[in-house]
Structure 1
Amino acid sequence: MVKAIVFDLWGTIVETGVNPSPSKQVKYFLRVNAPFSDFILTFEHSFMTQEFESLKAGFENVVTDFNLRLPEFVYEKLVGMWNKNTILSKMYPEAEEVLADLRKSGYKIFLLANIDKFSYDQVKEKFKLEEIFDKVYPSFQTGLLKLNPESFNKILEENDLEAKDLVMVGDSVDSDIKAAEKAGITGILLDRNNKREYENKIISLDQLKEQLK
């Protein structure tokens, strides 16, 4: 029986404030000539698994890891775009009510996010994340990205749960669903545009509770 649900943040609970996504824009600014699936692994590990004194310092670490050199004005564009994303971000209309109902129904709910400290501090306050969720697991604090099964094992161990007790809800097959399945946890894909073929899928968080039965 499912006792707890772990949610992704971006694209699941909160909608990004810029389009294309912030990470895709970083790839564009850096002119990285690699598939996005390869770029994102290095970028998120470099930028989102430790704390930096400033956003610029975080981007400098990314540039170093990609063995690049950037003029100062590009750093300014990166920082501006990254801040714009959190400023314009918004919670999906049904999210808060669904999360509150799940807690009222006895489920533990957790947030597992690949995110930097500066974005997290802003959205934490903006959306009261630490009040909505029982526990939050931002990658810059844990040092673990979702693709690392240890990120899920940490949740299981800290909350005295077994893999069968937990489900993962996210909008990415690779970084949310397959990542959870590597840890033996069932994944539920949130496909808001209903464009992907996946057996265990919902198109709105409103459908989640029925899926858990």
Structure 2
Amino acid sequence: MDEKTGEVLGRVVVTQRVGWCADLVSTMARSLISEHWNTSDVGMLASGEDAEGRALPSNAWMALRRLGWGASAPEGVKVNDRIVRMAQEQAGRTLRSAQWRAELTTGVLTSWPADPAKRTADEWVNVRAAVPGGQHLPSSVIKSRTQQIASFARANGRVPADPFELEGAPGVARMLLLSACDGQQATIECREDDPSRVVLRLQLPVRPDPR
């Protein structure tokens, strides 16, 4: 139900409006991820500290704001701050999760075997020592990343310069991370007449190009 007008909305209309909002957020998040998809920025975010040595907030969107990493709406579109927060939260979580893959790739590169198709026993010891937690990492994970690097080398005549040259910025799921919002954007509460059900109130665009 549209609480402002009292109109009961059908499933198709609700799905459409959620889709508009998810498209908007994912577009902003994708742009933000691409802008910071590099060793320096991902490493800084993963370190948990800003340039002045202060601890970054645990919420991804707040951490990105501390670092000054803003998310911009598409040209000609104006959005409220909660939409920006959702985009920053999604981008921040993705960038934080990239650090482990980056460390894995760096470890494999620094201990590159003479024959990528078949490591010797000593080369296995070396790569496990170079990868964080490598002693407990399944061999299949290391082999898979080795094959990925070897494919890049065959196509480019060299190994990648860093993990982010090997692996481009990932796609972004169409989702709305409401945990980054406040009560002006979204609330959820149990129904008084039926505690087993909940009521979700959510601000959504009423057109695909909100202004």
Q: TM-score, normalised by structure 2?
A: 0.27
Q: TM-score, normalised by structure 1?
A: 0.27
Whose radius of gyration is greater, 1 or 2?
2
